[in-house]
Structure 1
């Protein structure tokens, strides 16, 4: 599963500020797995107040994790091409960067956005909007009330094969 958070340029600064303000003292990022349930509830409420849209790409039916990720990233690029997006930031996992770049190189050409859609990998402490995708992915995986808490910002769930 890959979760994409989309923010219009005019809302970027405020969204990042709001997210940074949600950190507790000494915290360099919000990592949902490590938060208490009360903090998770508070963060979910704050996320739903941001000017953001989230899309969940679900390739859990794909047997290979590598193939599932490639399928999800390709679908992300397809959707961003339709939106006319200019930038894609992916959470950096050093073990996946090389394979991600190959997939993205192919996808931006397939959807005709090689010249207009820049992509980069960043660490979560460098880009607060990555925290949104992390939180939504956690909530969707947990299901139930957690999923319901982030439903207002989820605009689409794409089941991929």
Structure 2
């Protein structure tokens, strides 16, 4: 069975974090519906850094009950955030292919999406399953499953109690040089 992956980013000082939520196909609809149900009136998306601490705790407790995991790819970004992102994305794409990824959705960065596409195409070029993988950029207001990567990246980057609370969904932490 193929998995679906949803990617968002975070930055903490000189550390770039690429969070990759890995979700089984049978869980997509139920988790998407649950996430949309967490929106407040007038809210179009969940952005964890914009939420107040009490609401963050509530949201996190509600979401970690679901069966998915978020791997975090970490790289230094002092000289270039874009270079750090592309290194993390290349490594993540390769790892996801090993998991039989069928679909990769990245949070859109508007004019910079093309850079991601080139990185993904480069990784896929050497793989026998390259034609079986769909990848696309979506605005986070249109794809709630991107919010899972957002909340995990924020919690991991914040560390301490936030990382502890997110531990049920946090998977591997991969340092990318």
Q: TM-score, normalised by structure 1?
A: 0.95
Shift of 1:14: 0.3
Flag the structure with higher strand content.
Answer: 2
Alignment partners' CA distance in 2, 1:2 and 1:123: 16
Q: Which residue of 1 aligns with 2:28?
A: 12
Alignment partners' CA distance in 2, 1:17 and 1:116: 27
Q: Which residue of 2 aligns with 1:112?
A: 128
Alignment of structure 1 residues 128-139 onto 2, 5 Å = 128-139=144-155
Alignment partners' CA distance in 2, 1:138 and 1:111: 32
Among 89, 97, 110, the alignment partner of 1:94 is 110
Q: Which residue of 1 aligns with 2:165?
A: 149
Q: Which residue of 2 aligns with 1:160?
A: 176
Alignment partners' CA distance in 1, 2:126 and 2:71: 21
Shift of 1:15: 0.6
Alignment partners' CA distance in 2, 1:67 and 1:123: 22
Q: Which residue of 2 aligns with 1:43?
A: 59
Structure 1 unpaired stretches of 5+: none
Confirm or deny: 8 A CA contact 1:55 1:156 kept in the other structure.
yes
Flag the structure with higher helix content.
Answer: 1
Confirm or deny: 8 A CA contact 1:28 1:125 kept in the other structure.
yes
Runs of 4+ with deviation above 6 angstroms: none
Aligned length: 161
Among 5, 27, 49, the alignment partner of 1:33 is 49
C-alpha distance after superposition, 1:12-35 (max 9, x if no partner)? 000101111111111111111111
Confirm or deny: 8 A CA contact 2:77 2:83 kept in the other structure.
no
Give the RMSD, CA atoms, in angstroms.
1.3
Confirm or deny: 8 A CA contact 2:23 2:68 kept in the other structure.
yes
Shift of 1:97: 0.6
Shift of 1:62: 6.8
